Amino acid sequence: TTPPPLDFDHEKGFEIPTKYKEAIYQLHWFGHVPVSMLQVCYKLGESSVRRILSYDYPERKRPTGLGQPTFSRTHKSTLL
């Protein structure tokens, strides 16, 4: 896949969208673009770029709730 077009306008304090995290990750690891060029291109600090590159996955693979789902008594009675 190709990186998204560079319509990146990040406001400080807000989360960076996943598609841009994925683009930064791919440009660095597969395109061999240095961190300094990514900083200039995406107007981010070095720590932000390094944090994105240190992620195992750009997006979480697991939801926050783990284990079996719990049902209330009323929900169980409607299921039966």
Domain limits, the chain: 19-60
In sequence order, the 6+-apart residues with CB closer than 8 A to the CB of 53 are: 24, 25, 28, 29, 35
Give the pLDDT confidence score for residue 46 in this predicted structure.
Answer: 92
Calpha distance 54→72 (Å, rounded):
40
CB atoms within 10 A of CB 4: 12
Supply the pTM of this predicted model: 0.60
User: Mean pLDDT, the chain, as a whole number?
Assistant: 76
Taking only the tens place, the pLDDT of each residue in 27-37 is: 888 889 999 99
